[in-house]
Amino acid sequence: MTNKYEEIDELTLRLKAPFNDVYQLAMDEIISNGGKIKTDDFHSGYLEGAWRYGLNFGGLRVAIHIRKTAEDDIELHVEGGFKNSIDTFGSGKKKAVELIGKLKNSIDKQFNKFENIPKKEQLLEKQKKIHTKLISCNTCGGTFSALADNCVKCGEPNNWIHPNIEKLIKLKDKLPFPNPVVFEWSRYEISGETINELPIWYKIFRFLLGGVVLLVLSKIVSIWLAIILLIPVILLLLPIERLLEGKKEHFIANLENGHWETSNERMFADSRKILDI
């Protein structure tokens, strides 16, 4: 098979490549072919482009569904039609066929077959390099395994960290995260989680509300009882705070066994490239 993809049917392809790269490629293809992005839902893998058709401005639509299969492949399906009208002459399907043809060419140019997903042999080779890597002790100069807890000669604790993890740690403040990310790492494991801060206006509102409630209650009861009665008010605000904070995103990477897990592939795509996992 010379193509970098497998044709499931006329409008469906299967390939091995990173999800975020395929998603970006599909979006670029819509724009480069004169379409306007109407729906961009990365988490569900759904894109919708719109084209002018005669007097129908933006009525011709093509939807692209991208999903990861159980075999860790990427499946891409394209379908076309019209918004609020019937595709009488099959123009929607013709546009979908045209677009998937362009996608095939772009996939052939951009992706190498199965090389964007680590093969079992590649993963085993990486594990072998880690397990057989010898490092020098900073105290006595002796050599020992990178995975050992201590130098076998003098007992100095092993502070070795995988070079790719060190690289990510150095570059983490330069990566374009939408929210601050807290990192934790060990020799060959690293994880990150976003910190979603509350808006300034809400912090001011919470402070003023607490002050007003405390002032009113202190006029009715003692100050200590007023403080106790303020606690239920604070508890009532917690669901609002969770809603304002939004969902926390995270990733976990283990460079020894090649494990990668994330709640947001697009957000941590640069981190994954740096880690080469």
| Per-residue pLDDT tens digits of the chain, which is 277 residues long | 345 788 889 999 998 888 888 888 898 899 888 888 888 888 888 999 988 776 655 578 999 999 988 788 899 999 998 876 676 678 888 999 999 999 998 888 776 544 444 445 555 556 555 555 678 888 888 888 777 788 888 888 888 888 899 999 998 888 888 888 999 998 889 999 998 777 788 888 888 988 888 888 888 888 888 888 888 888 888 888 777 767 788 999 988 777 888 888 888 888 988 888 7
Name the phi and psi angles at 87, rounded to 5. -85, 75
CATH number for 118-160 (one of 2.30.30, 3.10.20, 3.10.310, 1.10.3680): it is 2.30.30
Residue spans per domain, the chain: 6-110, 118-160, 200-245
Name the phi and psi angles at 155, rounded to 5. 85, 5
User: Is CATH 1.10.287.1120 what the domain over 6-110 is classified as, yes or no?
Assistant: no
Looking at the DSSP bridge assignments, the partners of residue 48 are: 39, 63
Q: Is 164 helix (H, G, I), strand (E, B) or coil?
A: helix
Q: In angstroms, rounded to a whole number, what is the distance separating the alpha carbons of residues 132 and 125? A: 11
Q: For 60, left (φ over 0), alpha (ψ -120 to 50), or beta? A: beta
Among candidate residues 133, 137, 120, 121, the one with its CA nearest the CA of residue 164: 133
State residue 64's pLDDT score: 95
Q: Nearest 10 degrees: CA dihedral of 211, 214, 219, 225? A: -160
Fill in the DSSP letter of residue 174. G
Helix crossing, 223-245 with 200-220: angle to 10°?
160
State residue 115's pLDDT score: 46
State residue 128's pLDDT score: 54
138: amino acid identity, one letter: N
State residue 1's pLDDT score: 39
pTM over 0.85: no
Q: In angstroms, rounded to a whole number, what is the distance separating the alpha carbons of residues 29 and 24? A: 9
Which segments of 88-188 are extended strands (E)?
134-136, 143-145, 181-185
Looking at the DSSP bridge assignments, the partners of residue 62 are: 49, 80
Which segments of 211-267 are extended strands (E)?
250-254, 259-262
State residue 63's pLDDT score: 93
